[in-house]
């Protein structure tokens, strides 16, 4: 069925995103990986919406729009924070940010 | 014809009816945030000291006042709970309770922030604006009757918090905590979102009332999608509530963030997380409680144990309190796990008592840390009773309350959650909760002993501690609540009993 | 008259509040006087209430005084209320009475201390908490007092904060008591879930003790044993007793008030209070209590034999005597337990205050090896201390004899082995107390030897955490090489005399001769009649047992005299010496060899095993914490991995649930 293919695509994107967050040291790439996860959710939402009736479909699509908006806001703040770190340490390597531990 | 069709469709689009009175607390907080921005951009001269803080506190007070009016309305037997904004927000005792808790968190943290910002040369309206908006997000989370709205509230709460965590941008720790909080926060809310998508897929709706109705009416052939959604939702809520194993960010972020912001995170943000957890799991997914209860049980045990055990080995008081706040989350989860009305009301009582305790605790930490926000080690507290007997006594009250000593609200809070667990036959969990309180008693005692030990010969005296007016008021309120409710808890218990969340379908 | 009951706890509370506000202004001695007057007033209120209760016929001697609704629990309210009945009034009278005397004593003892008003603030707060504990009409109010006395004890032990050992001892007391509290809390929750109430007695008959007979054996056993865990923590029974000997680091009046007369007996009070539940439990549950009591009694007595610190002997002796009380409770002899509690409060407070007077007079020397012959220099202290000694040793007609005899009688009725342990303990008690008296008040004056062995003294002082270590030896060694002991001021010896009189006459409270003179038994009859086990023993046996007990006591004293007074004996009556010498050789061989080894062995075991267990638990937690810390690496990506791992686990759980 068509739905399963969309869901599979979503799941694959999700996993790539999670892998990116776990494996990448570069702050900007981590941000991009998070975007990838959010987009996988959007694919899921639209796909699920397609399955249900009209009202349900609208919910899914509207939700996807909300997610895109929120993701934009989030990335704005995220880049600002990465920039702040970069300005002080001239690096965006997340592994070098480890003052506090234990 | 196309025009006619368009016209007809336009007519059909009905703007949702908004109950202005019901959303007044939200509007007041957001309005105050805009007002602060307006004042700072329109006036050229600096306003009088403390103007921003006073406006923030007043706005919270107004929000609490309107919440009081709402309370009378929703607890009225004839009118009861209702939804507004096309079934997106629920107005019930539960929402009102959290409006009050979160507004209190804002007001108390703002009082602490006032002097802090001047001390650190950061004075300006920005932190208050963020605090108000973040709090409004938390309230949206507590009122949400739709998973989309839960997500929006969570993001509003979080995005503002990311900025607040890095507010003291001259401190490396503050920058680091913003970075960590942001990466992990975005990561976990992506999980939450994925979970919401699953639940939407399984039930065909995001409206909590409709979901509950659907789950009650239908027996799902395959529950995999729904339960997978549960798991991912738990990740998102567990992260905000700092439940183990999603707590990893808590110590670092609490330690690095400016102390008044930490107070806000520990109070308002955690309260919002529990509000969403309670409404979504205990009320909406009540039908599937046998599936999620054991998992919450496990998380609660881990949270209790890891929180108290790791707190003991810390030497930085702020970090110690971060771990202790994790173990408090474990106690609240004990109430959540019971999944009974008694459990919910115990959790609510705990959240309210905990708000005052933890804001007070971080309030004292704000004052003791001194300029630069750096004296957080145990040695900064050594001999505090000599330098500032009043402050030491205040801190002692908060610590004893956190340890759960009788005649403080902390004792009753623990008493009620454990009582609820016993009542729900979760004996093992009750036992573990008690044991963890025994373990953590030791940790609070360590600080008390340090404060009342006199300076040793030759040791340099700790930093001078100033108690400014705003922080003094906040600490006074927190102590008063902790002690008075510890002795006369009736009214608060009564409120908590009537604040059980209601799940209403979007139709009404 | 009965309504005066609220004054009993209110007066010490008022005193504490006044001292909190005006303490510094009042200063010395007025803050002490205020505190003493408050507790004395509380005693008067207690007497008034007592008379009011006495006025009623025996079966109506129960009065409930409601103060206010406290907190709602599952549909009904737990109130703050007082239960006035013969049991609680007995406790109130001796708590306030002995308490007032100890307050008075402290006025002199604490003279010149920096924290003088603060000390009395804590003392009054303690009296308040203790009275809430005994007067509370439900388990939660009792628990409130229970925690309150624990906290005050902690504050008072740590009174001299500057000194690390005190703070550590205070901490140990706090933590062990928390373990006990844990048992108490569990017992309380279990009571609530099974019986739906935690109120002892209610006017409408809903109190849990009023329908305890409906309990199943297993629940009753669980409740009784959980509450016993609490009681064992508070009343220093095996294995939770470790804090009590350490608690002697506090000022001596605190040791007398809290760690001998009142707080440590609250566990016994609790068990007597819930005796209806105990009566419903399996028959082995009381036996467990009796055996733990008996073993504690014997164990502590053997340890006391080898102690050198004057207060440590008394501390172990207290643990031992509390063991007797639990032996009585376990044997169903509740009256005997309360009786011994009262007489013990008299003579043990007397002994502690006497030792305080000695320490005061000796300029803070606590090692008995550096005392001796003090009876001539401190006549009042010596004579009152001797009264206390005879009372605790069980010499008739002093108070201890009568109460100990009743406990031994009930033990005989319960199990002969328990009786034998009790008897051996009685002998040891007589022995170590005599040893103490002989070492302190008789023999050669050895207090001028202190500076010869200053190094050793310091070592032993460090080992016993004695109070004001540094000050004491600073004074003893540098300024006054050989201080002359002196008698204490009147505020200190008057309480001694009063307590001595009580220790002599206390036995009259409950004479075994016939029903009419068993005053305490008759008085407590309405409370315990349903549960009291009366040993079925013939009169001849009773007399026989009493004679055996007297012989044991005298034998203990004789042994001690032989060991510790032998030179004196030789000087006066050489004829007798010969006899005594062989006898003494054997004894000395035993008590110096295997006996002492045994005693020191138990003391060692105490240090290693029990202390080790308490510290070990702490170490374990810390070690676990240190291990877990490693997980918190500080790297964001590791944290993200943790969250992802958690998500996978949660998903795994739900997928298993979903059957995938």
3-state secondary structure of B111: helix
Residues in chain A: 102
Q: How many domains are contained in chain A?
A: 1
| B20-24: long-range contacts, CB 8 A cutoff, minimum separation 24 | B21/B66, B21/B69, B21/B70, B21/B73, B22/B70, B22/B82, B22/B84, B22/B89, B22/B91, B23/B84, B23/B85, B23/B89, B24/B63, B24/B66, B24/B70
User: Are C174 and B422 inside 8 Å of each other by CB?
Assistant: no
pLDDT at C36 over 80: yes
Closest CB to C660 among B183, B224, B235:
B224
Count of CB contacts below 8 A, A vs B? Answer: 116
pLDDT at C467 over 80: no
Cα separations in angstroms, B253 against B166, B184, B261, C495: 10, 11, 10, 59
User: Are C621 and B312 inside 8 Å of each other by CB?
Assistant: yes
Per-residue pLDDT reduced to its tens digit, B74-102: 888 788 888 888 888 999 999 999 999 99
Asked whether C247 and C305 are in contact (CB, 8 A), the reply is no
Q: Does the residue C46 lie in any domain? A: no
Find the farthest-apart pair of alpha carbons in chain C and give their distance in angstroms, rounded: 97
**CB under 8 Å to C520, separation ≥6 — which residues?**
C90, C335, C338, C339, C342, C509, C510
A29-43, A45-59, B218-232, C94-108 — most confident range = A29-43
Q: How far is C647 from chain A (nearest CA, A)?
A: 11
pLDDT band per the 50, 70, 90 thresholds, residue C595: low
Q: Does the residue A102 lie in any domain? A: no
- Structural domain for A80, as ranges: 2-93
Query: What CA–CA distance (Å, rounded) separates C565 from C438?
Result: 7
Instruction: Give me the mean pLDDT over the B298-303 stretch.
Output: 94
Query: What CA–CA distance (Å, rounded) separates B456 from B459?
Result: 6
Residues of chain A positioned with their CB less than 8 A from the CB of C640: 21-22
Task: Name the closest residue on chain A to residue C628, using Cα atoms.
Answer: A102
The residue among C272, C206, C227, C340 whose CA lies nearest residue C528 is: C272
Q: Does the residue A77 lie in any domain? A: yes
What is the token pair recorded at B267?
């109070």
Instruction: Give me the mean pLDDT over the B292-299 stretch.
Output: 93
Predicted local confidence at residue C172, as pLDDT: 63
C-contacting chains (≥3 CB pairs under 8 Å): A, B
b/e per residue C534-555 (b: at least 16 CB within 10 A) = ebeeeeeebeebbebbbebbee
Predicted local confidence at residue C459, as pLDDT: 41
User: Are B205 and A45 inside 8 Å of each other by CB?
Assistant: no
Asked whether B421 and B433 are in contact (CB, 8 A), the reply is yes
Per-residue pLDDT reduced to its tens digit, C475-494: 333 334 455 666 777 777 88
Half-sphere exposure of B58 (CA within 13 A, CB side): 11
Mean pLDDT, chain B, rounded, equals 89
Asked whether C282 and C223 are in contact (CB, 8 A), the reply is no
Per-residue pLDDT reduced to its tens digit, B425-434: 888 998 899 8
Q: What percent of chain C has pLDDT over 70?
A: 82
The alpha carbon of residue C480 and the mean position of all alpha carbons in its chain are separated, in whole angstroms, by 35
B-contacting chains (≥3 CB pairs under 8 Å): A, C
pLDDT band per the 50, 70, 90 thresholds, residue B12: low
| In the block, residue with structure tokens 């202190």 | C450
Residues of chain A positioned with their CB less than 8 A from the CB of C631: none
Phi and psi of C367, rounded to 5°? -85, 120
- Name the strand (E) or helix (H) holding C267: helix C266-273
Asked whether B309 and B439 are in contact (CB, 8 A), the reply is yes
pLDDT band per the 50, 70, 90 thresholds, residue B490: confident
Asked whether B354 and B332 are in contact (CB, 8 A), the reply is yes
User: With an 8 Å Cβ cutoff, is A25 touching chain C?
Assistant: yes
User: With an 8 Å Cβ cutoff, is B227 touching chain C?
Assistant: yes
Q: Does the residue C587 lie in any domain? A: yes
Q: Roughly what angle, to the nearest 10 degrees, separates helices B341-369 and B409-423?
A: 150
Task: Name the closest residue on chain A to residue C638, using Cα atoms.
Answer: A22
Q: How far is C174 from chain B (nearest CA, A)?
A: 9
What is the token pair recorded at C194?
């099974």
Q: Does the residue C324 lie in any domain? A: yes
Count of CB contacts below 8 A, B vs C? Answer: 159
Residues of chain C positioned with their CB less than 8 A from the CB of B434: 182, 185-186
User: With an 8 Å Cβ cutoff, is B371 touching chain A?
Assistant: no
User: Are B179 and A85 inside 8 Å of each other by CB?
Assistant: yes
User: With an 8 Å Cβ cutoff, is A8 touching chain C?
Assistant: no
Query: What CA–CA distance (Å, rounded) separates B134 from B288?
Result: 32
**CB under 8 Å to C455, separation ≥6 — which residues?**
none
User: Are A102 and C634 inside 8 Å of each other by CB?
Assistant: yes
Asked whether B357 and B398 are in contact (CB, 8 A), the reply is yes
Spell out the SS3 assignment of C112-146: CCCCHHHHHHHHHHHHHHHHHHHHECEHHHHHHHH
Closest CB to C71 among B295, B442, B489:
B489
Look at strands C63-73 and B82-84 and give their pairing: unpaired
pLDDT at C587 over 80: no
Q: Does the residue C474 lie in any domain? A: no
Predicted local confidence at residue B142, as pLDDT: 94
Q: Does the residue C388 lie in any domain? A: yes
User: With an 8 Å Cβ cutoff, is C72 touching chain A?
Assistant: no
pLDDT at C411 over 80: yes
Q: How many domains are contained in chain C?
A: 1
Per-residue pLDDT reduced to its tens digit, B318-376: 999 999 999 999 999 999 999 899 999 999 999 999 999 999 999 999 999 888 788 88
pLDDT at C574 over 50: no
pLDDT band per the 50, 70, 90 thresholds, residue C457: very low
Residues in chain B: 508
**CATH number for the domain harbouring residue A23:** 1.10.287.3510
Q: What percent of chain B has pLDDT over 90?
A: 57
User: What secondary structure letter does DSSP report for A25?
Assistant: -
B9-23, B123-137, C56-70 — most confident range = B123-137
- Name the strand (E) or helix (H) holding C71: strand C63-73
Asked whether A17 and A36 are in contact (CB, 8 A), the reply is yes
User: Are C635 and A23 inside 8 Å of each other by CB?
Assistant: no
Query: What CA–CA distance (Å, rounded) separates B386 from A70?
Result: 51
Predicted local confidence at residue C562, as pLDDT: 78
Q: How far is C649 from chain B (nearest CA, A)?
A: 9
Cα separations in angstroms, B75 against B78, B495, C81: 9, 10, 32
Spell out the SS3 assignment of C305-370: HCCCEHHHHHHHHHHHHHHHHHHHHHCCCHHHHHHHHHHHHHHHHHHHHHHHHHHHHCCCCCEHHH
- Structural domain for C494, as ranges: 286-334+348-448+483-592
Mean pLDDT, chain C, rounded, equals 78
Q: Roughly what angle, to the nearest 10 degrees, separates helices B469-487 and B409-423?
A: 50
Predicted local confidence at residue B361, as pLDDT: 95
Instruction: List the 186-215 stretch of B: residues with Cβ below 8 A of C.
Output: 187-188, 191
Q: How far is B298 from chain A (nearest CA, A)?
A: 23
Per-residue pLDDT reduced to its tens digit, C337-396: 999 998 998 888 888 888 888 887 777 777 777 777 777 778 888 888 888 888 888 888
Per-residue pLDDT reduced to its tens digit, B392-403: 889 999 999 998
Residues in chain C: 660
Q: Does the residue A101 lie in any domain? A: no
Residues of chain C positioned with their CB less than 8 A from the CB of A95: 635-637
Cα separations in angstroms, C513 against C403, C509, C510, C547: 13, 12, 9, 15
Closest CB to B295 among C71, C74, C653:
C653
Closest CB to C178 among B187, B438, B452:
B438
**Site from B197, B208, B254 to mutate, A interface, most A CB atoms within 10 angstroms:** B197
pLDDT band per the 50, 70, 90 thresholds, residue B188: very high
pLDDT at C564 over 90: no
Q: How far is A53 from chain B (nearest CA, A)?
A: 9
Residues of chain A positioned with their CB less than 8 A from the CB of C637: 21-25, 94-95
| In the block, residue with structure tokens 């929120």 | A70
User: Are B166 and A37 inside 8 Å of each other by CB?
Assistant: no
Per-residue pLDDT reduced to its tens digit, C256-302: 888 888 888 899 999 999 888 888 888 888 899 999 999 889 888 88
Residues of chain C positioned with their CB less than 8 A from the CB of A25: 637
**CB under 8 Å to C228, separation ≥6 — which residues?**
C183, C267, C271, C288, C289
Predicted local confidence at residue C171, as pLDDT: 61
Task: Name the closest residue on chain C to residue B189, using Cα atoms.
Answer: C643
Per-residue pLDDT reduced to its tens digit, B228-252: 999 999 999 999 999 989 999 999 9
Asked whether B36 and B459 are in contact (CB, 8 A), the reply is no
User: With an 8 Å Cβ cutoff, is B316 touching chain C?
Assistant: no
User: What secondary structure letter does DSSP report for B377?
Assistant: B
Q: Does the residue C422 lie in any domain? A: yes
Asked whether C503 and C383 are in contact (CB, 8 A), the reply is no
Q: How far is B500 from chain A (nearest CA, A)?
A: 28
Q: Does the residue C217 lie in any domain? A: no
Per-residue pLDDT reduced to its tens digit, C624-643: 777 777 778 888 888 888 89
The residue among B122, B105, B103 whose CA lies nearest residue B373 is: B122
pLDDT at B459 over 60: no
Bridge partner residues of C65 (DSSP): C82
Instruction: Give me the mean pLDDT over the B455-467 stretch.
Output: 63
User: With an 8 Å Cβ cutoff, is B177 touching chain A?
Assistant: yes
Residues of chain A positioned with their CB less than 8 A from the CB of C633: 98, 101
Instruction: List the 591-650 stretch of C: residues with Cβ below 8 A of A.
Output: 629, 632-637, 640-641, 644
User: Are C71 and B191 inside 8 Å of each other by CB?
Assistant: no
Q: Does the residue A98 lie in any domain? A: no
Give the predicted TM-score (pTM) of the model.
0.80
What is the token pair recorded at B141?
């989370």
pLDDT band per the 50, 70, 90 thresholds, residue C458: very low
pLDDT band per the 50, 70, 90 thresholds, residue C583: very low
Closest CB to B445 among C171, C193, C632:
C171
pLDDT at C526 over 90: no
Q: Does the residue A99 lie in any domain? A: no
pLDDT at A61 over 80: yes
Query: What CA–CA distance (Å, rounded) separates C214 from C221?
Result: 13
Residues of chain A positioned with their CB less than 8 A from the CB of B159: 73-74, 77
pLDDT band per the 50, 70, 90 thresholds, residue C608: low
Q: Does the residue C468 lie in any domain? A: no
User: Are C640 and A22 inside 8 Å of each other by CB?
Assistant: yes
Closest CB to B186 among A10, A14, A78:
A78
pLDDT at C305 over 90: no
């Amino acid at each position: 069925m068509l739905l399963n293919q969309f869901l599979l695509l979503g799941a694959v994107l999700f996993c790539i995103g999670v892998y990116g967050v776990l494996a990448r040291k570069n702050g900007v790439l981590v941000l991009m990986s998070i975007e990838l996860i959010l987009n996988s959710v959007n694919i899921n939402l639209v796909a699920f919406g397609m399955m249900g009736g009209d009202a349900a479909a609208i919910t899914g699509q509207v939700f996807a729009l909300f997610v895109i908006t929120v993701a934009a806001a989030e990335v704005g703040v995220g880049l600002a924070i990465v920039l702040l770190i970069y300005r002080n340490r001239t690096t965006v390597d997340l592994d070098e940010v480890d003052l506090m531990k234990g | 014809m196309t025009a006619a069709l368009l016209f007809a469709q336009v007519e059909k689009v009905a703007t949702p009816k908004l109950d202005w009175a019901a959303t007044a607390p939200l509007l007041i907080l957001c309005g105050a945030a805009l007002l602060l921005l307006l004042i700072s951009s329109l006036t050229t001269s600096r306003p009088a000291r403390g103007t921003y803080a006073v406006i923030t506190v007043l706005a919270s007070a107004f929000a609490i006042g309107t919440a009081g009016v709402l309370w009378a309305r929703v607890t009225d037997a004839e009118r009861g709970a209702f939804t507004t904004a096309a079934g997106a927000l629920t107005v019930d005792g539960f929402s009102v309770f959290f409006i009050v808790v979160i507004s209190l968190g804002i007001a108390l943290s703002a009082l602490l922030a006032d002097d802090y910002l001047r001390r650190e040369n950061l004075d300006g309206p920005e932190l208050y604006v963020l605090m108000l908006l973040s709090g409004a997000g938390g309230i949206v989370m507590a009122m949400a009757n739709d998973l989309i709205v839960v997500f929006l509230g969570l993001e509003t709460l979080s995005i503002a918090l990311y900025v607040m965590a890095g507010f003291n941008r001259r401190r490396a720790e503050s920058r680091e905590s913003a970075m960590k909080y942001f990466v992990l926060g975005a990561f976990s809310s992506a999980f939450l979102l994925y979970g919401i998508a699953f639940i939407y897929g399984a039930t065909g709706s995001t409206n909590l009332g409709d979901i509950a109705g659907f789950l009650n009416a239908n027996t799902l052939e395959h529950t995999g999608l729904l339960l997978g959604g549960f798991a991912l939702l738990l990740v998102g809520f567990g992260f905000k509530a700092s439940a183990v194993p999603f707590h990893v960010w808590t110590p670092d972020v609490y330690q690095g963030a400016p102390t008044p912001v930490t107070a806000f995170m520990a109070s308002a943000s955690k309260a919002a997380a529990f509000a969403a957890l309670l409404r979504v799991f205990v009320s909406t997914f009540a039908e599937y409680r046998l599936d999620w209860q054991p998992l919450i049980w496990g998380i609660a045990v881990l949270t209790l144990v890891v929180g108290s055990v790791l707190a003991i080995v810390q030497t930085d008081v702020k970090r110690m309190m971060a771990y202790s706040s994790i173990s408090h989350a474990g106690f609240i989860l004990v109430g959540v796990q019971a999944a009974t009305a008694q459990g919910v009301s115990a959790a609510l009582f705990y959240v309210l008592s905990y708000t005052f305790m933890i804001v007070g605790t971080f309030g004292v930490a704000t004052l003791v840390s001194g300029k630069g926000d750096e004296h957080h080690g145990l040695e900064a507290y050594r001999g505090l009773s000599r330098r500032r007997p009043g402050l030491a006594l205040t801190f002692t009250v908060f610590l004893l309350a956190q340890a759960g000593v009788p005649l403080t609200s902390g004792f009753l809070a623990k008493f009620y959650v454990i009582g609820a667990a016993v009542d729900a036959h979760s004996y093992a969990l009750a036992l573990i909760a008690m044991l963890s309180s025994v373990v953590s008693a030791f940790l609070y005692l360590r600080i008390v002993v340090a404060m009342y030990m006199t300076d040793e010969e030759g040791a340099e005296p700790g930093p001078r501690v100033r108690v400014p007016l705003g922080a003094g008021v906040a600490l006074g309120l927190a102590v008063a609540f902790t002690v008075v409710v510890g002795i006369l808890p009736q009214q608060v218990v009564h409120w908590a009993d009537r604040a059980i969340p209601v799940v209403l379908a979007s139709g009404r | 008259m009965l309504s005066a009951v609220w004054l009993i706890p209110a007066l010490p509370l008022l005193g504490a509040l006044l001292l909190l506000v005006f303490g510094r202004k009042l200063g010395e001695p007025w803050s002490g006087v205020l505190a003493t007057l408050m507790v004395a007033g509380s005693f008067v209120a207690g007497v008034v209430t007592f008379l009011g209760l006495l006025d009623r016929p025996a079966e109506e001697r129960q009065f409930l005084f409601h103060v206010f609704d406290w907190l709602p629990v599952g549909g009904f309210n737990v109130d703050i209320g007082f239960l006035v009945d013969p049991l609680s009034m007995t406790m109130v009278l001796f708590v306030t009475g002995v308490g007032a005397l100890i307050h008075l004593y402290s006025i002199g003892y604490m003279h010149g201390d920096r924290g003088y008003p603060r000390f009395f603030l804590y003392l009054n707060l303690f009296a308040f908490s203790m009275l809430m504990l005994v007067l509370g009409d439900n388990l939660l109010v009792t628990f409130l007092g229970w925690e309150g006395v624990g906290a005050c004890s902690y504050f008072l032990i740590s009174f001299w904060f500057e000194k690390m050992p005190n703070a550590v001892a205070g901490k140990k007391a706090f933590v062990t008591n928390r373990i006990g509290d844990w048992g108490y809390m569990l017992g309380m929750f279990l009571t609530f879930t099974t019986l739906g109430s935690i109120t002892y007695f209610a006017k409408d008959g809903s109190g849990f003790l009023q329908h305890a007979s409906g309990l199943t054996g297993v629940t009753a056993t669980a409740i009784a044993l959980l509450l016993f865990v609490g009681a064992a923590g508070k009343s220093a029974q095996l294995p939770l007793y470790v804090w009590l000997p350490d608690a002697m680091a506090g000022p001596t009046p605190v040791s007398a008030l809290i760690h001998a007369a009142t707080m440590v007996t609250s566990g016994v009070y609790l068990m007597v209070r819930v005796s209806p539940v105990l009566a419903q439990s399996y028959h082995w549950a009381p036996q467990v209590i009796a055996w733990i009591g008996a073993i504690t009694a014997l164990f502590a007595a053997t340890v006391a034999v080898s102690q050198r610190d004057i207060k440590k002997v008394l501390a172990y002796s207290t643990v031992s005597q509390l063991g007797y009380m639990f032996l009585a409770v376990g044997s169903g002899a509740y009256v005997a337990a309360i009786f011994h509690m009262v007489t013990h409060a008299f003579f043990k407070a007397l002994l502690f205050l006497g030792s305080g007077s000695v320490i005061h007079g000796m300029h803070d020397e606590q090692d008995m090896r550096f005392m001796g012959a003090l009876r001539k220099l401190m006549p009042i202290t010596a004579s009152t201390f001797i009264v206390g000694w005879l009372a605790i040793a069980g010499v008739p007609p002093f108070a201890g004899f009568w109460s100990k005899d009743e406990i031994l009688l009930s033990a005989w009725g319960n199990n002969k082995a328990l009786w034998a342990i009790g008897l051996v303990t009685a002998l040891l008690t007589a022995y170590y107390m005599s040893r103490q008296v002989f070492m302190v008040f008789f023999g050669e004056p050895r207090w001028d030897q202190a500076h010869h062995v200053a190094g050793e003294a310091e070592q032993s002082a460090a080992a016993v955490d004695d109070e004001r270590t540094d000050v004491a030896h600073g004074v003893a060694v540098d300024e006054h090489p050989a201080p002359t002991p002196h008698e204490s001021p009147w505020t200190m010896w008057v309480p001694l005399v009063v307590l001595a009189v009580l220790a002599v006459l206390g036995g009259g409270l409950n004479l075994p001769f016939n029903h009419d003179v068993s005053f305490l038994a008759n008085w407590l009859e309405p409370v315990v009649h349903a549960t009291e086990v009366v040993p079925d023993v013939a009169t001849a046996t009773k007399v026989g047992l009493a004679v055996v007990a007297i012989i044991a006591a005298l034998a203990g004293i004789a042994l001690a005299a032989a060991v510790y007074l032998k030179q004196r004996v030789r000087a006066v009556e050489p004829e007798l010496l010969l006899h005594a010498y062989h006898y003494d050789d054997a004894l000395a061989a035993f008590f110096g060899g295997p006996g002492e080894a045994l005693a020191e062995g138990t003391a060692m075991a105490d240090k290693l095993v029990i202390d080790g267990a308490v510290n070990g638990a702490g170490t374990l937690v810390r070690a676990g914490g240190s291990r877990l810390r490693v997980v918190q690496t500080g790297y964001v990506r590791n944290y993200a991995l943790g969250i992802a791992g958690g998500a996978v686990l949660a998903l795994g759980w739900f997928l298993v649930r979903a059957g995938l």
